[in-house]
Amino acid sequence: MNQTFAALQLGPAKRAVARVAAGAYAGSGSGRTQPYATEAKKKNPYSHTIKLPQTEFPLRADAARREKQFRHRCTDALYEWQLKNNRGPQFILHDGPPYANGDLHIGHFMNKVLKDIINRYQVMQGKRVVYIPGFDGHGLPIEQKALETLKGRDRDSLDPMEIRKLARNFALKAVARQTESFKEYAVMGDWAHPYLTLDPSYETNQLEIFKAMMGRGYIYRQNKPVYWSPSSRTALAEAELEYNEKHISTSVYVKMQLTDESVARIGGAGKVSALVWTTTPWTLPANRAIAVHPDLEYVLVQVTENSESGSAGYQLLVGKDRLEAVSAMLPEGSTIAVVCILSGKQLEGLSYSSAVSGKQCPILLANYVTSDSGTGLVHSAPGHGQEDYELGLVNGIEIYAPVDDNGRFTNAAGAALAGMEVLGEGTRAVVAMLRDAGVLLHAQEFTHSYPYDWRTKKPIIQRATPQWFANVGSLKASASESLRDVKIFPEFGRRRLESFVASRSEWCISRQRVWGVPIPVFYNTSSGEPLLTAESISHVIGIIRERGTDAWWELSTEELLAPEYRADDNTYVKGTDTMDVWFDSGSSWKMLEKVSECSEGAYADVYLEGTDQHRGWFQSSLLTSNAVRGVAPFRVLLTHGFTLDESRRKMSKSLGNTLEPARVIHGGRDKKKEPAYGVDLLRLVVGSTDYTHDVSFGPLVFAQFSDTMRKIRGTVRFMLGNLNSFTPDMLVPFEQMSSIDRYILHELRRFKQNAQSAFDAYEFYRAMQVVSNFTNADLSAFYFDISKDCLYVGAPDDLQRRSTQTALFHILVDYTTALAPVACHLAEEVWEFFGPTRRALGKTTGSVFQEPWDQTRSEWNDPELAADWTALRKLRSVANRAIEAARTARHIGSSLEAELDVYVPLNTRLGQLLTKYKSELCKVYITSKVNVHEVGGAETDGFVCEDRIAAYDTETPVRVVSRRSSLHKCPRCWNFHSTEESSLCGRCDDVVARQQ
C-alpha cells in the first residue's frame, strides 16, 4: 500500500502504543518500563518522590466530539487573522469549482484537504493566503438533477425560466450542503464569499472573456460534425467524454455500384462495385463520397460465387493489401481473380450509386486512408465525421446529417428509417436494407472502445449541427509555450496536458440547454446570419450585470439589442445556445484580477485538481487565459489521482463501494464496526499518501491510521506530561545542555528541514514519513527511552532533568507545527494543553498556526556531535542483541539487570568515543553498568554479540558481552546500583534526602 505513515510503524513503537494505552508513559521495551506498569500491584514506598508525567491530555482522541472545539479558531478565525497579521507575500491557491449537484464523496475530501494542507503550510511560512472556494452552478448535470425532482409532471412542457428556476434552487441548496461539509473538513478559506459560476458578477466576467476572444478572432460558428449526446440532447466537448471499452458495434462491408461510365473508365465489365467498410452502418444514409489514398494500389477483381441457382459473377474494387482479408469473407467455393491493378490516383473522379440513398457520389483522394483495416476504400459521410467533413469541405460536398437531436433518423433519411434510433433499431434496419438490396458482402458484431456521455453513461454520435467554436488551432502554440515556466507535479502531467492541447484544433463551446450562460448572439431573421459584435455583447453584459443571465430569457430581443441595431432595417431573433460549462469554469481566473497583487503573469500560485482535469479545467483555463492575457493562469500545477477501495477498484455507485466522508468522521450505526474516527484521521490518510497516484480508502486503512494517531497522541502526551510545572527559570542554555539533549536538538533541526523540503515540493506524504521516522526511531525508541530515568527519578531541579525538559519544550513546539498542516485539530488541541507552559515561556499565540513553521536554531546544527551519537546508536543495536540473548536464556529479566563489557580498539575514534562517554553509557544502553575494554583483553563470561560498526568513514570491530549485574536493584529507580539488597542507590538516597 502507498500510505507511508502507517506502513512505517516500528516494532518497539507499536509496543509503546500498547503500554501508553494501558496507562503507562512508555517508549520502547526498556528495562525501566516494567516498574511503573506494575506499581499499582505493590505500593512503592518511594512513589511520592518519583516525578511521573502529569497531564490531562487524553490518549484517545474522541475526535468526533472534541475536534469541534478547535475548528473555528483554526478555520474562519485563522483565515481572517492571517490576512491581517501575516507580513509575507500573497499566496493564491485557486479552487477548481466542484459541481453543485449533490453530496460530497471521499474524492471531494481528498481534493479539498490537499489544498488545505498547502494553504496551512503557507500561512505558517508567514504568507497571506487567499483561498476563495468555488462552485460550478451551471450545466447539464445540475439541470438533470433538478428535473428529477419533478414527479408526475411533463418536463418537456416546462418553459426555459421554469427550468432555470428549478436548476438555480437546486444548485444553491447543493452549495449550502457542500459548504457545511467542507467546513467540517476544516478547510480554511473565505467561505462567507465563495465564487459561484451562477452569480451575475461571475457571468459578466465570463462574457467579457468571450467578447475578448471574439474580438481576437477566436470565436466562430460553423455547421460541422460535433460530439452529440442523444441522451442529453446537446453537443459535447472532448472533456465531457469517457470511453466504454466493452461497447458492441456492427461492422459491414458494402458494395457501392459504379456508374457505367466509371466501369468503362477502369476497364471493368458487368456489375462493378467499390467495396467499403464501416463500423457505423447508421451513417450510410448520409454517404456522400468514397475516399481512397492516392498512393495505395487497388485491384479490380472478378468474383464468382457458387450458389444453388448457379454461378453468379461480379467485379469488386478493393485495396490490394486487403484482398486476402476480403477473400476470406466470400461464400465457400467462391473464386476470385485479379483483372487489373490501379493506383488511387486513377480512381479519382469515378462515381457510384450510394447503397442506401441511391444518390450518385464521387470517389475522392484523401491522405488519411490506410490499408491497415477495412478495404482501403473509406465510406465518407461529411455530416458525421471530422475527416469526412474536411474532405467534403475541400471538395464542395454537402454536409448532410439526417439525424435529429434525439439521435433518431429524420424524414430526410427516408420513410423506412424515419424515427428510428440510429444506434439501435436504426442500425439494424440499415443492415437489413443492405442485405435485401444484395449489396451487403459481410456483417459482424465486434467489441471496441467507444465514446460515451460522461454524465448519462450512454453512447454518443457525431452529427453536423450549427455550433459555436473556439479556434484552439491558433491558440495551442502559445498555450504550450506558456507552460514552459509552469512547475508541474508530477512531471508526467506536463506531457499529458501538452498532448491534449496539441491534439486539439477546436473547442465546441455551444450547448443546447437553458441552464447556463447564454451565447449573446442574434440572428438575422431573413438571412440567418449571426450578429455578434463588441457593441452587441457589451450591451448584453450591461444588462446581465444588473439582472443576471435570466434577462436573456425574460427580455425581448428588442430590449436585448444594442440601440444601434434596433434602428436598422433588419429584424433579429436571439440565440438559444448556452456556453459549455468548461468555458464557465475555465473563466474563473478572471475573478482573481481583483484580489491578486500580481498584475503581470499568472494570477494564481497553484492549481490543484484530479488528473481528469488535464482534459477539463486545466485545459480550458489555460486556453482562455492565453487567448485574453497571453499567459498561463497558474505558476504551479498539481495533479492527484482517483480514489479506490481497498481492492484497488475505482469507487462507483454501481459497484456499491463509494465512501461518504461523514460516515468515517461520525461513524455508522454500529460504532464497533464503523467507529467515529473524526476529521483528522482522514486528513492524516490524505496527507500520508502519495496523492499523485490513485489512493485507496477503506476500513483496514482507517484502522491502521487509528493506531498511528494513537502513537502520535502518545508521543505528545509524554512530552506534555513531562513539561508539567516547567517554568522559565528551569530553562537550560544550549551550551549547558547535556550531550544527548544537544544531539536530539540537532536531529530536531534536521527533521524540520527535511519536513520543510517535502512540504515545499508538495510531497506531503514524504513530510509525514519524516514525522513518522522521527516519532518512532528518534523519539520513542531512543530519546524518550533514555530520558525517562532522569525525568522520573532525577531531582526536580537537577541540571540533567532540566536540560531534558528544555529539549522536550523545543521538540514539542516544532513537532506540533510539523503536524499542524495535516492534523490541524490535533495540533490545536496540543497547543491548548500546552498553554500554561508555553505562555509562561513567552509563546502567547492563540493558535498554533500563528506560530512560525520552523523554530529550530542554527546553533543546534552540530555534525560532529551527530556523528558521535550515530556511532553510539549503532553500537546500541549491538548491545540490545547481546541483552536480548541473555533475556531469552532467562539469565536476566529487564535490561537494567544487565552489565555490559564492550571490547573495542581504544585507539580508534569509536574507542575514544566510548572512553569519553564511559560513565554515561549505561543510560544510553539502559543497563546498570557498561565497561569499556581494549580488544584482546581478558574477557568475562556472558552472552556475546559481535559486529562491525560503520562510523567516521570506517568500520570498527566490536564485541559486546552481556551478563547479570553483581549489584542489587534500587527499590526507587530499579537500576542495579545498590550495594545492599532493598537499599537505595547513592543517587536516589541523595534525591530522597533533598526532598525531605
Question: For 413-423, how does the pLDDT look when each residue is reduced to its tens digit (9 = 90+)?
Answer: 999 999 999 99
Helix (H) or strand (E) holding 470: strand 461-471
Closest CA to 59 of 21, 10, 99: 21
pLDDT digits (tens, 9 = 90+) for 820-843: 999 999 999 999 999 888 888 888
Q: Mean pLDDT, to the nearest integer, of 53-63?
A: 91
pLDDT grade for 21, boundaries at 50, 70 and 90: very low
Res. 559: pLDDT tops 50 = yes
Identify which has the larger pLDDT, 310 or 78: 78
Give pLDDT, residue 746.
98
Identify which has the larger pLDDT, 963 or 938: 963
Res. 181: pLDDT tops 60 = yes
Q: Mean pLDDT, to the nearest integer, of 252-272?
A: 94
pLDDT grade for 307, boundaries at 50, 70 and 90: low
Which class for 797: exposed (0-12), middle (13-18), buried (19 or more C-beta within 10 A)? exposed
Q: Mean pLDDT, to the nearest integer, of 686-714?
A: 95
Closest CA to 620 of 591, 565, 581, 569: 581
Q: Quick one: what percent of the chain has pLDDT higher than 90?
A: 80
Which class for 676: exposed (0-12), middle (13-18), buried (19 or more C-beta within 10 A)? middle
Res. 7: pLDDT tops 50 = no
**Three-state secondary structure call for residue 886:** helix
pLDDT digits (tens, 9 = 90+) for 686-699: 999 999 999 999 99
Give pLDDT, residue 30.
46
Give pLDDT, residue 10.
30
Q: What is the mean pLDDT of the chain?
A: 91
Closest CA to 913 of 870, 944, 882, 861: 870
Q: Which residues make Cβ contacts (< 8 Å) with residue 394, sequence separation at least 6?
A: none
Res. 36: pLDDT tops 70 = no
Give pLDDT, residue 237.
79
pLDDT digits (tens, 9 = 90+) for 482-527: 999 999 999 999 999 999 999 888 899 999 999 999 999 999 999 9
Q: Quick one: what percent of the chain has pLDDT higher than 70?
A: 95
Res. 15: pLDDT tops 60 = no
Residue spans of alpha helices (H) in 834-977:
835-840, 863-888, 909-916, 921-924
pLDDT digits (tens, 9 = 90+) for 600-653: 889 999 999 999 999 999 999 999 999 999 999 999 999 999 999 999 998 877
Distance CA 252, CA 113 (A): 52
Question: 310-332: string of b/e by CB count within 10 Å (b at 16+)?
Answer: eeeebbbbbbbbbbebbeeebee
Give me the DSSP letters along 223-271: EEEEEEETTTTEEE-GGGEEEEEEEEEEEEEEEEEEPHHHHHHTT--SS
**Which of 27-31, 33-37, 702-706 has the least mean pLDDT?**
33-37
Res. 5: pLDDT tops 80 = no
pLDDT grade for 567, boundaries at 50, 70 and 90: confident
Which class for 338: exposed (0-12), middle (13-18), buried (19 or more C-beta within 10 A)? exposed
For the chain, the first-to-last Cα distance in angstroms comes to 57
pLDDT grade for 38, boundaries at 50, 70 and 90: very low
pLDDT digits (tens, 9 = 90+) for 739-750: 999 999 999 999
Give pLDDT, residue 96.
93
Q: How far is Cα of residue 691 from the mean position of the Cα atoms in its chain?
A: 5
Res. 310: pLDDT tops 60 = no
Q: Mean pLDDT, to the nearest integer, of 193-211?
A: 96
Identify which has the larger pLDDT, 33 or 591: 591
pLDDT digits (tens, 9 = 90+) for 223-235: 999 999 999 888 8
CB 317 within 8 A of CB 275: yes
Give pLDDT, residue 152.
65
Rounded to 5 degrees, φ, ψ at 548 are 80, 175
Distance CA 215, CA 906 (A): 84
Res. 82: pLDDT tops 90 = yes
Q: Which residues make Cβ contacts (< 8 Å) with residue 170, sequence separation at least 6?
A: 101, 142, 145, 146, 149
Closest CA to 534 of 205, 200, 218, 208: 208
Give pLDDT, residue 923.
93
Res. 13: pLDDT tops 80 = no
Sign of the alpha-carbon dihedral angle for 433, 436, 439, 444: positive
pTM comes to: 0.87
pLDDT grade for 429, boundaries at 50, 70 and 90: very high
Q: Mean pLDDT, to the nearest integer, of 871-894?
A: 95
pLDDT grade for 798, boundaries at 50, 70 and 90: very high
pLDDT grade for 17, boundaries at 50, 70 and 90: very low
Sign of the alpha-carbon dihedral angle for 407, 410, 414, 416: positive
Res. 236: pLDDT tops 90 = no
Res. 439: pLDDT tops 90 = yes
Give pLDDT, residue 151.
75
pLDDT grade for 311, boundaries at 50, 70 and 90: low
Res. 155: pLDDT tops 80 = no
Q: Mean pLDDT, to the nearest integer, of 115-143?
A: 95
Give pLDDT, residue 34.
37
The CA-atom distances, in angstroms, between 328 and each of 322, 441, 740 are 10, 11, 84
Q: Which residues make Cβ contacts (< 8 Å) with residue 934, sequence separation at least 6?
A: 903, 904, 905, 906, 911
**Which of 1-15, 173-187, 458-472, 845-859 has the least mean pLDDT?**
1-15
Q: Mean pLDDT, to the nearest integer, of 944-960?
A: 95
